[in-house]
Amino acid sequence: MKSRLITAVMMLSGIGCLHAVNPIIQTNFTPDPAPYVHGDTVYLFVDHDENDAQYFLMEDWQLYSTDDMVNWTYRGTPISTGTFSWATQGDKAWASQAIERDGKWYWYICAQDAESGLDAIGVAVADAPEGPYRDALGCPLTKPGFGFIDPSVFIDDDGQAYLFWGNNGLWMAKLNRDMISFDGEIRYIDELDDEKAFGPKVMKRDYALNKRMLKSNFEEAPWVSKRNGIYYLVYAAGGVPEFMAYSTAENINGPWTYRGRIMNEAENSFTIHGGLIEIGGRNFMFYHNGKLPNGGGFRRSSCVEEFSYGDDGSIPFMPFTNE
């Protein structure tokens, strides 16, 4: 009773030291969390595993928000495969990320190009985070390709926007100011390097599972950010199951230096996928696991951990917490 009273007083006084319970959303399965800070609000763009999914079964994307990093409000299901006429319908609504620019909201998604059966990145645009959204192009932003999933959008200090994406390979392209077209060629990033950072045991296991025998054990789910002039690339690494790792660079075009593992393999999920934000001087890392009742590798839920950067700019290893 006493702790409930303290909690109520703290909430009324707006003291921001309460902790969210993980998973932070308990009403839907919400994989691939993509947080975005806008003013005092954190928006969380997620995809949506169906309740009875036995394999990846995802047909729409949802939006949640919070003003206190504790209580999350469902803001609707603004887009689905139906938003994208070129996409396979009712399935393959995979990871996404959204950003606001010049008063417009751009929601980058990946889906399956119905004609070719290959992966592709698309973009929907709206005047508000909740929508209504429309397909900005009526066709994919990227050409369809193997591994063209998991878009991450980033705007640098000089206003130049970039899109990164990829599974079993990492690609990047400059975005024009309109945010819906590329400026120049798509570039394959082949200089990711983690060989020296991993011990032989981990390398053997991870490399055995890496289909393309990349030099890096990058798997998917890139998330690009910048802090104190350093670029950060957080990603899912290692194969099945995945863990979270990161690299840094002094230039957005690399080279990227491997900086280590920041999260272990997700609990009850063979994938892990997330992104980081800073709000009010606090830093948060989002990810997903399969720990909700009836959860699992195809029924995943968003979670969050608070962390502090090291004095050298490093991201610490983050143990999973329940709250």
Which residues are at the interface with ligand FUB (CB under 6 A)? 31-32, 47, 56, 94-95, 149-150, 220-221, 271, 273
Q: With respect to ligand FUB, which residue has the nearer C-beta, 259 or 273? A: 273
CB of 258 to ligand FUB, least distance (A): 19
Minimum CB distance to ligand FUB, residue 91 (Å) = 11
Give 267's contacts (C-beta < 8 A, 6+ positions apart): 289, 290, 291, 320
Residue 56 or 309: the one with the smaller Cβ distance to ligand FUB is 56
Q: Least distance to ligand FUB from the beta carbon of 263, Å?
A: 13
**Which DSSP helix (H) or strand (E) runs through 266?**
none
Judged by beta carbon, residue 216 or residue 271, the one nearer ligand FUB is 271
Report which residue type is found at 9.
V
CB of residue 94 vs ligand FUB: minimum separation in angstroms? 4
C-beta closer to ligand FUB: residue 109 or 279? 109
- The residue among 260, 263, 261 whose CA lies nearest residue 274 is 263
Q: What region does 249 belong to: left with phi over 0, alpha with psi -120 to 50, or beta?
A: beta
Of 149 and 175, nearer to ligand FUB (C-beta) is 149
Q: Which is nearer to ligand FUB, 59 or 150 (CB)?
A: 150
Q: Sheet of 104-112: strands edge to edge? A: 96-101, 104-112, 119-126, 134-135
Question: Closest Cα partner for 22 from 235, 269, 236?
Answer: 269
Bridge partner list, 80: 60
Task: Supply the minimum distance, in Å, between the C-beta of residue 210 and ligand FUB.
Answer: 16
Residue 116, Ramachandran bin (φ over 0: left; ψ between -120 and 50: alpha; else beta): alpha
Element containing residue 300 per DSSP (H, E) = none
Alpha carbons 259 and 247: distance in angstroms, whole number: 5
Rounded to a whole number of angstroms, the minimum distance from the CB of residue 299 to ligand FUB is 11
